[in-house]
Chain A
């Protein structure tokens, strides 16, 4: 089920009503658990089984991690959890990709081998919930957290519908303690949660799907060869689209959880105002970048074993982070580009540690960050390297046979929206949404809220899935 669907409106109203009934806390948690399974099953019922497998395996693995003695036994139970989760991910997400690449490798060695047609359906959100459940066993293994006290709390942590299919990727220590005592939103939380959901849905339905998706599709999926203007407009549109799509999802999820009385962490912090790439990754998909840092980068050595090991850990983390987004070499290149950006920035920071950039230099660095992030987006969006090169060549005026692709209206709307997004990020760079809203007069907030909701209603939307569902 997607947030931007009529089904979700009815579903959420029912969940809110049930959650507000004067029932025992355990019953209300059970209601939330059942609702979360329904939320997931509404996409494809049989795949709830995968969710159960992931839940049960990690529950038992964490229990054993506490009860068994000896490092080897603990490591074995940890590995069982990791292998079970990554195994599911490998089969469902990377099965066909691995087969195709193995076939290509064999062909390179002169062995003709045709991979079987697997037709594997990618379960929605598998990358998100496997990472969430793995963080549970890994935190217990690393002795950062104790196991959940009861299975209901743990199962609800894994399945809680606001974060289930596209994050934020929660850690057990962020959510499980919230299930220990009764929670119900008060009137302020309920209304502010609804306001956040309106903002999130506006980003998704109106900006991402309504205005920004079309120019992206025309240039990236069309047959025409784009020139400088079309290639840049489409790529900027994609930068805006993926931000509005994913940050919109996260904001809606945070708002939905707040309406039920729960708190979820920030996943985005106005990333297009980032100055430098380490700053960017502290603002973009924060829960994923922090997950990769804690469970991949640091175990790979982090910055504790000298520069060479640090650069290796950085690149390996970003390459795997790229692959997490999709079973395609274009995602690996996207991750590799960001790894290179981060490594380059690290090198320059060490080399020029004494320099303190002026405001103008910081602005220039911010613009450079923005542009390089968008160059990397080309590989994220293009389905093939051929498609990526076609757009990149257009961006750098290297397409000889370029023709106009985008209608003027799409250029105008994209420029207006992207400029608005960047200006908003620059203004909000060192602020929170909450701190700004606290200074706005109530009538203005009412008017703005009504305007966003009205735009959502008249845009109608077609229930398009969020881009990150496929990851």
Chain B
């Protein structure tokens, strides 16, 4: 077929009659016969020139958009965490690439600094925590479907462990169980492009930007937390995730993010059913037993939250009933941020997740605390000096150089 063959005409085939109301016949007009080879028209326009002009305009527009998105605080190298990124890390566990695995919800994800962990111990953990999820199904999955025999550090945000399922992490488990070659290749391509283009960010898609215009306009419809969150994190290649720096520096965004948690909006914390608590405790006990049986160990972390948020959390479920009872049921050791002066002094800017600098301080604190309590964590002889809450004020680059200088 060529444009010359088609005669640049409106009709497909001049041999065929035109049915009223139709300008091109289709199979619907030819009942009970062999359908002929279709002939498609090419509108008589200068298509190569149109294409070249369109691509030029597109290039300029994308360039302008990239500039605008960088001005919004997006950065190249943020791979946009998702199921494929998680599945890739989970496969590293199967490949025996690490002796420490982090499991948990968004606090574990945002509040752990893998670089700091590695600098202190010489081991780089695999980050399997997922925002908006529940650590329990992932711990159970790790116990039942892997041969991992190292240290599992489980981070929980008060009551998330009692949730009914994996929450927003559901897709990650499914993706790990089956990831088509096409999806896997697309993820690799997307990651490569993300290192060049900052605008590739799921939270800044056109449709999401339009939806962000809605400030609960309609009575009776409150946009959910997951949709309301503008952007919370920045994720690197091995899922090292930080709080988005603009949350720390932009008061409007920080207040927006705080509002998303629903504090002060008369929100009543939903109670946790006894049956859910019992199920969580039983599953934890079984998972810990399975991991220990093959030589592994499980410890728990409770990252810090804002004092106002702590009140809200305690209203929902007192610590004795949640944290303490859980550790007892699982027979595991845990570090609660309320119990450690350094950890307790760290205040998340948007109530729930630590700033990038504070995440380094928190990681430093929990690694040192774990090193005192379990032989699974050992500090290197050339480990950097301890950090304090005061180091939260230091920009990340200065923090790294300071630590290095101290170590030297």
The answer, yes or no, to whether A460 is at the interface (CB within 8 Å) is yes
Q: Which of A6, A195, A289, A411 has the most CB of B within 10 A?
A: A6
Give CA–CA (A450, B40) in the complex, Å.
23
Asked, given contacts A6-B189, A286-B27, A460-B200, whether A191 binds B181 with beta carbons under 8 Å apart, the answer is no
Task: Give the chain B neighbours of A287 by CB distance below 8 A.
Answer: 27
Q: Is the CB of B218 within 8 A of A188?
A: no
Instruction: Say yes or no: B207 contacts A145, CB within 8 Å.
Output: no
Known: A44-B180, A263-B40. A405 touches B54 (CB 8 A): no
Known: A144-B34, A210-B205, A264-B38. A408 touches B221 (CB 8 A): yes
Q: Is the CB of B207 within 8 A of A206?
A: yes
For B214, what are the chain A residues with a Cβ–Cβ distance below 8 Å? 407-410
- Total A-B residue contacts, Cβ distance less than 8 Å: 233
- With A42-B180, A192-B42, A438-B43 in contact, do A174 and B1 touch (Cβ < 8 Å)? no
Q: Is the CB of A458 within 8 A of B199?
A: yes
A27-35, A339-347, A389-397, A427-435: which lies at the B interface? A427-435
Q: Which residues of chain B from 35 to 59 have a CB within 8 Å of any chain A CB?
A: 35-51, 53-58
B31 at the interface (CB under 8 A from A): yes
Q: Count contacts on A: residues with CB < 8 A to the other chain.
A: 91
Cβ of B189 and Cβ of A407 under 8 Å apart? no
**Is B406 an interface residue when CB atoms closer than 8 A count as contact?**
no
Q: Cβ of B23: which chain A residues have Cβ within 8 Å of it?
A: 430-432, 435
**Chain B contacts for A171, CB-based, 8 A:** 27, 34-35
Q: Are B37 and A178 in contact (CB under 8 A)?
A: yes
Q: Is the CB of A195 within 8 A of B51?
A: yes
Would you call B1 and A189 a contact (CB within 8 A)?
yes
Q: Are A289 and B54 in contact (CB under 8 A)?
A: no
Q: Which residue of B lies closest to A184 (CB)?
A: B2
Among B58, B65, B182, residue most surrounded by chain A Cβ atoms (within 10 Å): B182
Whether A42 and B185, one on each chain, are in contact in the complex, defined by CB atoms closer than 8 angstroms, is yes
**Which residues of A in the span 16-53 have a Cβ within 8 Å of any Cβ on B?**
41-45
- Chain B residues contacting A455 (CB-CB under 8 Å) are 206
Q: What residue in chain B is nearest A455 (Cβ atoms)? A: B206
Quick check: B44 and A438 within 8 Å, CB to CB? yes
- Cross-chain contact B47 with A188 (CB below 8 angstroms): yes
Please give, as numbers and ranges, the residues of chain A lying within 8 Å of B37 by CB-CB distance: 173-175, 177-178, 263
Of the residues A42, A183, A446, contact of B182 by C-beta under 8 Å: A42
B221–A405 contact, CB under 8 A?
yes
Q: Which of B31, B57, B186 sits near A6, CB closer than 8 Å?
A: B186
State which residues 51-80 of B face A: CB under 8 Å: 51, 53-58, 61-62, 65
- B378 at interface (Cβ–Cβ under 8 A)? no
Closest to B40 in A: A263
Q: Is the CB of A269 within 8 A of B22?
A: yes
CB of A71 to closest CB in B, whole Å: 20
Cβ-based interface call for B33 (8 A): yes
Q: Are B39 and A263 in contact (CB under 8 A)?
A: yes
User: Nearest Cβ distance between residue A212 and chain B, in whole angstroms?
Assistant: 9
- Binary flags per residue of B18-34, CB closer than 8 Å to A gives 1, else 0: 00011110111111111
A139 interface hit (Cβ, 8 Å): yes
In the complex, what residue of chain A is closest to B28 when comparing beta carbons?
A: A282
The answer to whether A211 and B47 have CB atoms under 8 Å apart is: no
Residues of B within 8 A of A410 (CB): 211, 214
**Does A281 interact with chain B (Cβ within 8 Å)?**
yes
User: A293 on the interface (CB 8 Å rule)?
Assistant: yes
Closest beta carbon of chain B to A206's beta carbon, Å? 7
The answer to whether B40 and A406 have CB atoms under 8 Å apart is no
Q: With A and B bound together, what is the CA distance between A421 and B139 in angstroms? A: 48
CB distance from B85 to the nearest CB of A (A): 13
Give min CB distance, B22 to chain A, whole Å: 7
Q: Told that A265-B35, A281-B28 touch, could you supply 20 new A-B pairs with CB distance under 8 A?
A: A10-B185, A42-B182, A43-B181, A44-B180, A178-B37, A187-B48, A191-B50, A254-B40, A262-B1, A265-B26, A269-B26, A293-B31, A406-B218, A408-B221, A409-B213, A413-B210, A435-B10, A446-B50, A449-B50, A463-B186
In the assembled complex, 22 residue pairs joining A and B whose CB atoms fall closer than 8 Å, in A order, are A5-B183, A139-B34, A173-B35, A173-B37, A183-B1, A188-B42, A194-B51, A195-B50, A211-B210, A263-B1, A264-B40, A269-B26, A282-B26, A407-B217, A411-B218, A434-B41, A437-B45, A438-B10, A438-B43, A447-B54, A457-B58, A459-B205
Query: Shortest 9 CB-CB distances between A and B: which pairs?
Result: A290-B27, A409-B214, A191-B47, A210-B207, A450-B57, A446-B53, A42-B182, A449-B54, A404-B220
- Give the B-binding residues of A (Cβ under 8 A): 1-2, 5-10, 41-45, 139, 144-145, 171, 173-175, 177-178, 183, 186-189, 191-192, 194-195, 206, 210-211, 214, 254, 258, 261-266, 269, 279, 281-283, 286-287, 289-291, 293-294, 298, 403-411, 413, 429-432, 434-435, 437-438, 440, 442-443, 445-447, 449-450, 453-455, 457-460, 462-463
